[in-house]
Structure 1
Amino acid sequence: MAFRAFFALPADKFSTANGQHTNAIHGFTSMLINLIKEQKPTHICVAFDVSDDTTHRKAEYSEYKGGRNETPREMSGQIDLIDKVMGAWGIKTIKLPGYEADDILATLAAMGEKAGFEVLLVSGDRDAFQLITDNVFVLYPRKGVSDIPRMDAAAIQEKYFVTPAQYSDLAALVGETADNLPGVPGVGPKTAAKWINLYGGLEGVLEHLDAIGGKVGDALRENVEDVKRNRRLNRLHTDLELPLTLDDLAEPRPDEAALEALFDELEFKTIRTRLFALYGSEEVESAERETIAAPDVVIPAGAAELGAFLAAGAGKTSAVAVDLAPGRIGEDAAALAIVRDDAAVYIDLATQDAAAENVLADWLRDESSSKVMHGYKAALKALSSRGLGLEGVVDDTSISGYLIQPDRRTYELAELAQHHLNVSVSAETSKAGQLELAFDGDDAAAAGALVHVAAVVQALSRHFASELTERKAGDLLTTLELPVSRVLADMETAGIAIDLPRMDEQIADLAKVIDNAQELAFAAIGHEVNLGSPKQLQTVLFDELELPKTKKIKSGYTTDAASLKNLLEKTGHEFLVQLMAHRESSKLRQMLESLKKSVTEDGRIHTTYAQNVAATGRISSNNPNLQNIPIRSEEGRRVRGIFVVSDGYECLLSADYSQIEMRIMAHLSGDAGLIQAYQDGEDLHRFVGSNIFHVPTEEVTSAMRSKVKAMSYGLAYGLTSFGLSKQLEISVDEARTLMKDYFDRFGAVRDYLRGVVDQARVDGYTATIEGRRRYLPDLTSTDRQLRENAERIALNSPIQGSAADIIKRAMLGVHAELAAQGLKSRMLLQVHDELVLEVAAGERVAVEKLVTEQMGSAADLSVPLDVQIGVGPSWYDAGH
């Protein structure tokens, strides 16, 4: 729960003057205050994990919970401080060597149920579901630490098709990614639940192994020992000997002086008021949480009444808030709420007659009627599916919140409202472009819920207005981000066509490569081994083959891709050759199989773009992510061959900026040599190599050029001489000399890189060419690692962020010009610095010209923006 709090709240906004981050402490404490207020428990206990290495599970299975990301540095010290807060609060805490926090909860649950208690377990670990009974419930967080619904036996049965007591049986078969417990290949929750229900549980399944047919039956028999191990490891202990009794946990009371001192140290203000309100002061209690007073809601009877409401708001300077509720099927809109200062309406779109719908449609399309929303892009698509347009949107709080705090983990309305307004918006009553609202025929309840959400959006938008002005981000919102949302909505709706036969052919080809690589790997060592098991690979590589040891990790020596690549280059061992081939092909096959699941009935993939994920301003792609298709290997590039031109169109066109980040570096640094090289159309890396190595341009070798390229890009990301030496596999002295020669020749680059960090330390933020800011409080941290990480971010954010702004400006220009020229061609994809368009018959020349012009003029730099154009029947062909 502490980690969920950490990721729910932005680290940059929760830190003390001496650099101690406090977001996990604040979020955890706030969550516990809310839970105590809502649930009114009589007994409370907080259980902590101990180190994985000391648990019996780790002792039995060394890879248990392996593969997890390292704990973020910003989390350092926060768990211990949460423990201190609990101590001052009077809440008992328990940790037991050899066991996990959920084992402690399981034992407490058994104790509580035996004593006749109703027990509520708060855990983000699904293993806790096995503990649910008629008297034991799990409060399982759905989002962050603000949405924590109660899970009972019926909820588990509905979601997983098994009883709570059988959940661990299900998890044993399916596996648990979070714990690094692999399940039976090809067996998902539904298949596992079917077996469990058919045979009465896991023991029954294992007794009927031979009765289960097909490939999944074979897979089960091959992995039966893993299943048994999973079951042993996921079973929670209910009989531990705890150092406390239930009576010790009763009615905790805070030590006010101790809490005051601790909260002063943590620089917490409002949270102490909320906590103390739990224990007495009514005056404080009323101030604990703000409320949003939504106006009375009217459900208009027809066109005249709706028209009168809309007309009454005409000409007012303040924007109205609009929120949509989703339909039951697809992404259409089912209902709509409109809230202004003094009144609100709720409109069920399914029940409107033609006259009322026309009145609403005219208002939605009216640019002069200012509107604020949360989830503008989703609203555009939802209304479009009903034939309704949407104009006049001046704020999307999911984007304005991002521009204010680009490092937040989430921009869901509930999280923003709680953080900025101290207002609670539950998932059950909030859609806001992301959260669901259930309709059960109660118009009044549905109307009240949707209007409340719209009122919160309106309050949030007003709260953000001054911060946008302070950060000079208003123009970015209105002239860049909101227009880009409209372009992205069109691109998502269009999708891109997929050649399914070619996709299946690539999957089959990869399966052959995987099988062949596995056979050759086995032949190289004389026996079979699980190529996906780090532990078994460690034994083969370092014990049997006695290859040089890689980096030491908790479970031995690392077998990650970078280390094995380095080992292969050193030794050239055939087993490593085949292992790497097996890994690469397996990843590609998995990617293709995942992409195949994303193909919709129209034969296309419709990715979802997000503008508020990458702190630099880059647009991200997900469901599926089309930005992580590898392009370094030919096999990876082949995947692009499945993305093809649609029937009725001539070709796909790929337009890619060439070396845009280095061009931005040249512009920002003002280095005359780099600028001249770009203006003369030189190969930059060859030009730089000529100057550093003191040879004519034509004598710069490929190796020289590669070193220069790695260094040029690395410098923009804070690369040190040590880092460069590792990357280029040269000595640190050689790397230091290389960098010195570079900076001697291109002094303005050195001065810029030094100056940008110094200026950011003064300002507290960096800014892109367009003025997009990224605040970096860690620049003054006393923690060296945090400070150095902030310095690296300060170096690359202006460059990466400027590149992001430029491609967005280019998208707006291309989109507008296609419409202005009446062309049928359309933009389909945006991937890093590349745009992919589908060109209509006869429009190729015009589209090439306008794309080149619009991308080339997207920013006024001191160097030209070079655009590489390619066309072809597939994305692969267009990129060559």
Structure 2
Amino acid sequence: MSHFVIVDGNSVANRAFYALPLLSTTGGLHTNAVLGFTTMLLKVLEEMKPTHLLVAFDAGKVVFRHSEYTEYKGGRAKTPPELSEQFPLIRELLDAFSIKRFELEGYEADDIIGTLTRQSDEQGLATTVITGDKDMLQLVSDHVKVALTRKGVSEIELYTANEIEQKYGLTPRQIIDLKGLMGDSSDNIPGVPGVGEKTAMKLLHQYGTVEEVLAHIDQVSGKKLQENLRNNVEQAKLSKSLATIMRDAPVEIAVDDVVYPGYDPQKVVDCFRRFEFKSLLTKVKGADDAPAYAEGADSTEVDRPFSYETVSVERLDEYTKKLCSPMSLYVELDGDSYHRAPLLGYALACDDTALFVPVEVAERWEAFQDWLADEQQIKWVFDGKRDTIALQWNGARMFGIGFDLYLASYLMNASESNPSLSDIAAQYASVSLASDEDVYGKGAKRAIPDPQTLSEHVARKALAIWQSVPTIQKELKQNRLEELLSEIEAPLSLVLARMESFGVKVDRERLQQMGQELDRKLEELTEQIYELAGETFNINSPKQLGEILYDRLGLPVYKKTKTGPSTSADVLEKLAPHHPIVETILHFRQLGKLRSTYIEGLLKEIHPKTGKVHTRFNQATTATGRLSSTEPNLQNIPIRLEEGRKIREAFVPSESGWYMLSADYSQIELRVLAHISRDENLIDAFNEGMDIHTRTAMDVFGVAEDEVTSLMRRQAKAVNFGIVYGISDYGLSQNLNITRKEAGEFIERYFSVFAGVKRYMEEVVEKAKQDGYVTTLLHRRRYLPDIKSSNYNIRSFAERTAMNTPIQGTAADIIKLAMVRMKERLEQEQLASRMLLQVHDELVFEVPEDELDIMQKLVPEVMESALALNVPLKVDVHYGRTWYDAK
């Protein structure tokens, strides 16, 4: 059966560029867009099996639409040179694949695709258009589908007329009318001011087309909307015209000219070698020098014949000679919880030699145990923290980690959190590697496979590490991330390993007592709620609660859901001033969550042997570089609530007579903002040692220090912290319960005083649009693929992220650096004190009484000197018998 696939070349290349980290060959060719494009192409060839195939490109910047509207696409930022230089490489790639490509001067790829889909439609030929551009949905018909790329280009979402109807309630042709009304900022199509997607769809559901909407302006609800439509009749018609894809462009090729004959494997392999796409070589079948297929392998799981050896006790002397440095090491565990998971085996690799070491053999192989513990024997590992802890819990010791692939991959693209070895191998290694889920199964079906499957799977992991490390080392260097890995993340992983293994003691009896106290309070609150409601009901039932609040008490409805008026927390907060029952319900919910999540949750996590919780610090999950914690999550204990803060009473020293000591950075993100923005007023305020919120209130309201009221300071504080997160006038109005206009004026006054901050916000967004990413002071990088999105909300979120990440990410880097330095100083000073926890900007220690004086000086000294800024870092230190008392 015939199948015509048309690829929107510019759209797919652009999305691939922003989805992948900036990769380059050893010769300096940037290739991330080419790699993403190639991956998509291979998927298309395998899954769609096209009989006809074409890639359409834009021919130039000036097209026929500019004669209608000179500002067409006028708002677009200049294409980054790192992307521009990849288009010739993509064309070279298509030639290697024998795929036809076409472009037409004065026209866009859209018009070529529009014309060819009309032809294929007339011939009844099944056609799929692959693009990242929603405008293409207008081309959908009985024979034409549109596949929109998602997650960069790794996934596609297929649209037929039925899907468009379900999602928008429109026909494909009405997509043009939608753009005519709402416009499109990415193409600089103006649309009608004040008309967004929601309003545009509502109008089209009523009237069908732009022309019919304009013919019925007087019947449209809303005076402002009527006025906007009346004043922009011609602009709406022009916008619809600009959004209409041409279906009869003078295209010189026809559908019959793009029959796809398949490709010459050798040409593709030569191309992949030139671009250094090592991991894709195994996908090419039949080339003379491509990696061969494994006998009987599935076409998606191919690689050169893979061989490995299982180490036996009888031949230990022989295998001892194969231990070398560097060498890759993988430690296989039975499950994810590496504080408790038993070992299933080890694998080692050097060059293309892989060894599997069963646990019982490893225990008897003295030379291997010595190699593991020898700091001079360099190990390349996947996740050093995991391995160190797991081995320690199983009575073994490992030193000499020379490269941590997990952390390196995270630094290359922090948005892809918690990278798996199989994902990394797919990009960097030539050996194929199944995911653990494929080998072990999932959930209740999870089981250890037969010995041969297990040993081969683990051996493949070691070889994947060995093959991946050299390439990713080069990329780290190119992206200036080497130092961040070697000076902060890698040594920090060992600091965290020590903290996790040691754990923090929890007083079980105190927790149980707190649970009983919360039960009593919950009973009291339940009685109060029943009394205020005038009847008993299930407080945890949204339906019953809604009936009480809205039907019985007649409170205003702010938001509706499918099942009725909402009872969510944000709605209840708005309802609080209307009736005392609401505040009581909110308190009831907070205490209920405390009881279930933190009291019961913590009790479950206390290790039966140690009497401690061994929280896992996740080093590669947040895009900003912040640590998070799980099993249990100690970052989210709600300390603003007194009952929540009291939970810290259960965290106590592990030794009798010792103290808990807490050291907390004061306003670290605002201090980083002062440094990065170089704002003189902000810098002066910190250098003078003033309370920053009071100083902000003085400057913004134009009053003396003694005239600053508590309300002024509270508003200044909300703006100070809001600015760090790119807060909008709407966001600030919600925080302060003031009008949007007042909030906007407040932000304006702030920026007039702190002009450097405003300049920074504008510059960092502009630079992010040029580069596709932002960096912290220590070069941590975060890619922002949505920074040029045509969707206002998505783009705005990316812009706020661009403003915030350098600040929050630098603050994360500072506390990480402080932890590494703190560990070094504790060892230098030969102190018994231990670092136990990191929570946001706070470090928690347990300290013997005779070290309290020195620790109160040493901890702030190390933390405040972690990174030199042009404002001082300040640390507050407190101690007590429990973590709660250390505040």
Question: Aligning the two structures, in what range does the TM-score lie when normalised by the shorter sequence?
Answer: 0.5 to 0.7
1:393-424 CA deviation, whole Å, 9 max, x = no partner?
Answer: 23222221111111115412223334555844
Partner of 1:580: 586
Partner of 2:600: 593
User: Which one of the candidate residues 415, 424, 427 is aligned to 2:436?
Assistant: 427
Secondary structure of 1:647's counterpart equals: coil
Cα distance change on mapping 1:281 and 1:353 into 2, 3 Å: closer
| Superposed displacement of residue 593, structure 1 | 1.0
Partner of 2:751: 743
Which letter maps to 1:308? Answer: K
Deviates more, 1:785-794 or 1:647-656: 647-656
Partner of 1:676: 684
Cα distance change on mapping 1:718 and 1:426 into 2, 3 Å: closer
User: Which one of the candidate residues 293, 299, 322 is aligned to 2:329?
Assistant: 322
Whole-Å separation in 2 of the counterparts to 1:416 and 1:766: 23
Partner of 2:574: 566
Partner of 1:214: none
Q: Is the 8 A contact 1:325 1:336 kept in 2?
A: yes
Secondary structure of 2:661's counterpart equals: strand
Whole-Å separation in 1 of the counterparts to 2:435 and 2:539: 46
| Superposed displacement of residue 388, structure 1 | 3.3
- The count of aligned residue pairs is 646
1:802 aligns with 2:810: yes
Instruction: Please give the residue correspondences for 1:498-647 in structure 2 after superposition, counting only pairs within 5 Å.
Output: 498-568=506-576, 570-571=577-578, 573-591=579-597, 592-601=599-608, 602-647=610-655
Which letter maps to 1:662? Answer: L
1:689-723 CA deviation, whole Å, 9 max, x = no partner?
Answer: 11111221122111111101110111121112232
1:674-697 CA deviation, whole Å, 9 max, x = no partner?
Answer: 212212211111111111112211
User: TM-score with structure 2 length normalisation?
Assistant: 0.66
Which letter maps to 1:425? Answer: A
Partner of 1:775: 783
Whole-Å separation in 2 of the counterparts to 1:27 and 1:561: 42
| Superposed displacement of residue 489, structure 1 | 0.8
Cα distance change on mapping 1:78 and 1:633 into 2, 3 Å: farther
Partner of 1:835: 843
Whole-Å separation in 2 of the counterparts to 1:600 and 1:457: 33
Secondary structure of 1:781's counterpart equals: coil
User: Which one of the candidate residues 317, 330, 340 is aligned to 2:350?
Assistant: 340
Q: Is the 8 A contact 1:716 1:753 kept in 2?
A: no
Cα distance change on mapping 1:28 and 1:324 into 2, 3 Å: farther
Gaps of 5+ in 1: 1-8, 37-73, 100-254, 261-268, 271-276
1:164-223 CA deviation, whole Å, 9 max, x = no partner?
Answer: xxxxxxxxxxxxxxxxxxxxxxxxxxxxxxxxxxxxxxxxxxxxxxxxxxxxxxxxxxxx
Partner of 2:490: 482
Partner of 2:821: 813
Instruction: Please give the residue correspondences for 1:148-227 in structure 2 after superposition, counting only pairs within 5 Å.
Output: none
Cα distance change on mapping 1:609 and 1:820 into 2, 3 Å: same
| Superposed displacement of residue 31, structure 1 | 12
Partner of 1:144: none
| Superposed displacement of residue 567, structure 1 | 1.3
Whole-Å separation in 1 of the counterparts to 2:878 and 2:133: 46
| Superposed displacement of residue 767, structure 1 | 0.5
| Superposed displacement of residue 360, structure 1 | 2.0
Cα distance change on mapping 1:538 and 1:76 into 2, 3 Å: farther
Cα distance change on mapping 1:344 and 1:657 into 2, 3 Å: same
1:847 aligns with 2:859: no
Q: Is the 8 A contact 2:606 2:612 kept in 1?
A: yes
1:297 aligns with 2:303: no
Which letter maps to 2:384? Answer: Y
Whole-Å separation in 2 of the counterparts to 1:871 and 1:258: 75
Instruction: Please give the residue correspondences for 1:256-295 in structure 2 after superposition, counting only pairs within 5 Å.
Output: 291=303, 294=306
User: Which one of the candidate residues 464, 475, 496 is aligned to 1:467?
Assistant: 475
Whole-Å separation in 2 of the counterparts to 1:545 and 1:860: 58
Q: Is the 8 A contact 2:328 2:379 kept in 1?
A: yes
Whole-Å separation in 1 of the counterparts to 2:46 and 2:385: 35
1:350 aligns with 2:350: no
Secondary structure of 2:475's counterpart equals: helix
Which letter maps to 2:574? Answer: N
Which letter maps to 2:606? Answer: V
Q: Is the 8 A contact 1:429 1:436 kept in 2?
A: no
| Superposed displacement of residue 820, structure 1 | 1.6
Whole-Å separation in 2 of the counterparts to 1:608 and 1:78: 46
Secondary structure of 1:692's counterpart equals: helix
Q: Is the 8 A contact 2:346 2:358 kept in 1?
A: yes
Partner of 2:169: none
Cα distance change on mapping 1:595 and 1:390 into 2, 3 Å: same
Cα distance change on mapping 1:759 and 1:720 into 2, 3 Å: same
| Superposed displacement of residue 353, structure 1 | 6.5
Partner of 1:307: 320
Deviates more, 1:645-654 or 1:751-760: 645-654
| Superposed displacement of residue 482, structure 1 | 1.1
Cα distance change on mapping 1:395 and 1:825 into 2, 3 Å: same
Deviates more, 1:535-544 or 1:702-711: 535-544
| Superposed displacement of residue 97, structure 1 | 14
Whole-Å separation in 2 of the counterparts to 1:500 and 1:374: 36
Cα distance change on mapping 1:504 and 1:674 into 2, 3 Å: same
Secondary structure of 1:632's counterpart equals: coil
Gaps of 5+ in 2: 1-14, 22-32, 50-131, 149-155, 167-254, 261-270, 273-280, 294-298
Whole-Å separation in 2 of the counterparts to 1:96 and 1:699: 61
Which letter maps to 1:579? Answer: I
Cα distance change on mapping 1:376 and 1:792 into 2, 3 Å: same
Secondary structure of 1:779's counterpart equals: coil
Structure 1 segments (4+ residues) deviating >6 Å: 25-29, 31-36, 74-83, 91-99, 255-260, 280-287, 428-431, 434-441
1:716-772 CA deviation, whole Å, 9 max, x = no partner?
Answer: 211122321222112233222222222222211111111111111122211101010
Partner of 2:726: 718
Q: Is the 8 A contact 2:348 2:355 kept in 1?
A: yes
Whole-Å separation in 2 of the counterparts to 1:597 and 1:512: 22
Whole-Å separation in 2 of the counterparts to 1:78 and 1:390: 56
Which letter maps to 1:697? Answer: E
Which letter maps to 1:427? Answer: D
| Superposed displacement of residue 862, structure 1 | 0.8
1:462-517 CA deviation, whole Å, 9 max, x = no partner?
Answer: 34223222322121112211111111111111111111111111111111221221
Cα distance change on mapping 1:857 and 1:830 into 2, 3 Å: same
Q: Is the 8 A contact 1:648 1:841 kept in 2?
A: no
| Superposed displacement of residue 621, structure 1 | 0.3
Whole-Å separation in 2 of the counterparts to 1:437 and 1:520: 48
Whole-Å separation in 1 of the counterparts to 2:871 and 2:137: 50
| Superposed displacement of residue 295, structure 1 | 5.0
Which letter maps to 1:588? Answer: L
Which letter maps to 2:349? Answer: V
Q: Is the 8 A contact 1:517 1:578 kept in 2?
A: yes
| Superposed displacement of residue 333, structure 1 | 3.4
Q: Is the 8 A contact 1:294 1:455 kept in 2?
A: no
Partner of 1:135: none
User: Which one of the candidate residues 818, 823, 843 is aligned to 2:831?
Assistant: 823
Secondary structure of 1:678's counterpart equals: helix
| Superposed displacement of residue 327, structure 1 | 6.1
Partner of 2:110: none
